């Protein structure tokens, strides 16, 4: 009697069922591992071998953790008892992880997210199924998105700052108006602007406080091939020393206390345009080297950032100091000085262009009437002579303030210059007890018809500065210094002393 046919069919059916289940597992896009209750591998699908390179023969029956989950991404050990995959075998809970790595057969790690789900039979834990996927592309995409968003934020900040600069420019009404005047001195300055504007040369603008150095910088930028890009101004005298680097080069969020967000520096804002360094002599010595490198190489790093930023910037700087003296005194780098002063332009003081005072005053008068909503006012010949007689220690800035003050004080059709202008003779008067160094003519008050020659006025100014230096004990700046007694900036006083050949220490000894 023959044996029942089904006695040989059961293994075939089991193998068929196993093959069917394997095909189902292999069709899945995620990697799938099966584990027994000791953490040994029981099955592996095709996606798992494709992702990690381990074939099923190298894994079946072996502890899965020891093969591809033994270390963190930085190479530090990952103890088995801390493995969330094995935790599912202990506590019977589902464990999901999205920030770990599995190790490929060739030794590199692959970022993955995985879920370890316990398997129960008759209420007893008998193993677990691990489903994982390679998230390398997703992380790379996230990094690219973050980098893109960061660039967008930086561009947004840059555009906002450029907008603020443009808004400031509109409110300024072009500092000191257009370059007004026909004197030989101002014609020479305009000729220098025309010669250098279209070149890439660095320009150093020299002159007393208030002569219109910023106006010259604007004229250079406007006449250059960079005029469609921003002119960014940095007032070096107004920046705290500890913020200089951040102001020039920018910083990353968290780079230092108070850095609550990324900041675009003035150097980057001026990319493609012109960077105007006003009061350049005030830059701290320790930052001058970094600035020099940025100018020479056209690159820099923001505070807290390792990435190098490249820029194309033209430098126009201005100062009322004698930078060569600062170089000799060790307060200004010689190499930076020569880098900045490729083409120096000296702006004449207002007292050196007397014939331009009338046109400039009339311009400011018209401008002030329009801004204050007053009817048009005009200068008389007598008022013009008064303006031309004034010393204008504050130069064009002082003239602008005087004309605006005169318009405010004028209630009718006549300009009240007499109320706005300081006593015309106040700088021509000498105290009868003043130093014997003053010329005899200035020992007494001058009559209305009298005047001083330029040489006499310079001698008077020199005498006055020598007296204030003696009163201050030879001290130029700081509390009780000559600059404070005169009510002017130390840099302005230093410039005047240099022009008049006055040595503060020798004056105090005399």
pLDDT tens digits, residue range 209-220? 989 999 999 999
* pLDDT over threshold 60, residue 417: yes
Q: Are 332 and 204 in contact (CB under 8 A)?
A: no
328 band by pLDDT with thresholds 50, 70 and 90? very high
Residue in 371, 328, 339 with CA at minimum distance from that of residue 177: 371
* pLDDT over threshold 90, residue 64: no
Provide the 3-class DSSP secondary structure of residue 308.
strand
Cα R_g (the chain), whole angstroms:
40
The 10 Å CB-count burial string (b at 16+, else e) for 203-217 is: bbbbbbbbbbbbbbb
Phi-psi label, residue 24: left if phi above 0, alpha if psi -120 to 50, beta otherwise: alpha
Residue in 469, 461, 388, 474 with CA at minimum distance from that of residue 428: 461
Residue in 368, 349, 350 with CA at minimum distance from that of residue 358: 350
Instruction: Give the pLDDT score at 436.
Output: 38
What is the length of the chain? 510
Instruction: Give the pLDDT score at 508.
Output: 63
Residue in 64, 58, 59 with CA at minimum distance from that of residue 39: 64
24 band by pLDDT with thresholds 50, 70 and 90? low
* pLDDT over threshold 80, residue 446: no
Lowest mean pLDDT among 19-28, 254-263, 382-391: 19-28
Q: What is the mean pLDDT of the chain?
A: 81
> Residue for token digits 């219109």?
212
475 band by pLDDT with thresholds 50, 70 and 90? confident
Structure tokens at 189: 């300055």
Instruction: Give the pLDDT score at 154.
Output: 74
pLDDT, average across residues 409-422: 84
Structure tokens at 44: 């592996």
Q: From the centroid of its chain, how far is CA 37? A: 61
pLDDT, average across residues 362-375: 91
Q: What angle do CA 276, 320, 214 make, to 5 degrees?
A: 35
Q: How far apart are CA 495 and CA 50, in angstroms?
A: 77
340 band by pLDDT with thresholds 50, 70 and 90? very high
Helices marked H in 124-263? 136-172, 184-197, 213-222, 244-249
pLDDT, average across residues 226-234: 90
Structure tokens at 119: 């398997």
Instruction: Give the pLDDT score at 445.
Output: 41
* pLDDT over threshold 50, residue 325: yes
How buried is residue 466: exposed, middle or buried, by Cβ count under 10 Å (0-12/13-18/19+)?
Answer: buried
Cα distances from 138 to residues 108, 134, 141, in angstroms, run: 18, 9, 5
Please state the pTM of the whole predicted model. Answer: 0.54
Residue in 400, 451, 443, 452 with CA at minimum distance from that of residue 421: 400
How buried is residue 75: exposed, middle or buried, by Cβ count under 10 Å (0-12/13-18/19+)?
Answer: exposed
Q: Pick the residue with more confidence: 103 or 262?
A: 103
Percent of the chain with pLDDT over 70: 82
Instruction: Give the pLDDT score at 416.
Output: 87
Instruction: Give the pLDDT score at 10.
Output: 44
> Residue for token digits 């381990």?
54
Residue in 65, 41, 66 with CA at minimum distance from that of residue 55: 41
Phi/psi of residue 40, nearest 5 degrees: -85, 145
Q: Pick the residue with more confidence: 491 or 16?
A: 491
């Amino acid at each position: 009697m023959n044996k029942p046919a089904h006695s040989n069919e059961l293994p075939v059916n089991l193998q068929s069922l196993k093959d069917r289940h394997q095909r189902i597992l292999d069709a899945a896009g995620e990697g799938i591992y099966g584990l027994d209750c000791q953490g040994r591998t029981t099955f592996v699908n095709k996606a798992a071998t494709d992702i990690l390179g381990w074939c099923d023969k190298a894994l079946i029956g072996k502890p899965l953790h020891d093969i591809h989950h033994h270390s963190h991404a930085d190479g530090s050990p990952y103890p088995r008892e801390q493995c969330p995959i094995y935790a599912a075998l202990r506590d019977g809970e589902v464990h999901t992880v999205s920030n770990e790595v599995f190790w490929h057969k060739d030794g590199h790690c692959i970022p993955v997210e995985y879920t370890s789900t316990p398997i129960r039979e008759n209420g007893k834990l008998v193993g677990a199924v691990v489903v994982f996927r390679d998230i390398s592309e997703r992380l790379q995409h996230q990094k690219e998105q973050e980098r893109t968003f960061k660039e967008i934020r930086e561009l947004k900040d840059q555009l906002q700052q450029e907008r603020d600069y443009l808004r400031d420019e509109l409110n300024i009404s072009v500092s000191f108006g257009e370059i007004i005047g026909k004197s030989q001195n101002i014609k020479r300055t305009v000729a220098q602007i025309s010669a250098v504007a279209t070149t890439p040369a660095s320009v150093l603008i020299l002159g007393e406080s208030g002569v219109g150095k910023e106006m010259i910088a604007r004229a250079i930028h406007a006449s250059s091939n960079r005029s469609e890009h921003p002119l960014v101004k940095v007032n070096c005298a107004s920046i705290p020393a500890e913020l200089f680097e951040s102001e020039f080069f920018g910083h990353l969020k968290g780079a230092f206390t108070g850095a609550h967000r990324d900041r675009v520096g003035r150097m980057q804002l001026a990319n493609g345009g012109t960077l105007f360094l006003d009061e350049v002599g005030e830059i701290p010595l320790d930052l001058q080297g970094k600035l020099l490198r940025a100018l020479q190489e056209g690159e820099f790093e923001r505070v807290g950032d390792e990435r190098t930023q490249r820029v194309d910037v033209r430098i126009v700087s201005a100062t009322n100091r004698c930078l060569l003296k600062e170089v000799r005194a060790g307060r200004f780098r010689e190499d930076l000085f020569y880098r900045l002063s490729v083409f120096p332009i000296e702006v004449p003081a207002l007292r050196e262009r007397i014939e331009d005072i009338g046109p400039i005053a009339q311009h400011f008068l018209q401008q002030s009437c329009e801004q204050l909503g007053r009817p048009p006012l005009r200068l008389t010949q007598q008022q013009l002579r008064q303006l031309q007689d004034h010393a204008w220690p504050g130069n064009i800035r002082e003239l602008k303030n005087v004309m605006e003050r005169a318009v405010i004080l004028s209630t009718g059709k006549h300009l009240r210059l007499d109320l706005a202008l300081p006593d015309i003779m106040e700088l021509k008067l000498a105290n009868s007890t003043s130093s014997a160094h003053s010329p005899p003519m200035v020992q007494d008050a001058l009559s209305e018809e009298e005047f001083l020659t330029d040489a006499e006025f310079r001698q008077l100014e020199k005498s006055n500065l020598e007296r204030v230096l003696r009163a201050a004990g030879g001290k130029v700046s700081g509390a009780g210094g000559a600059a404070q007694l005169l009510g002017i900036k130390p840099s302005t006083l230093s410039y005047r002393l240099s022009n008049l050949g006055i040595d503060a220490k020798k004056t105090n000894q005399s």
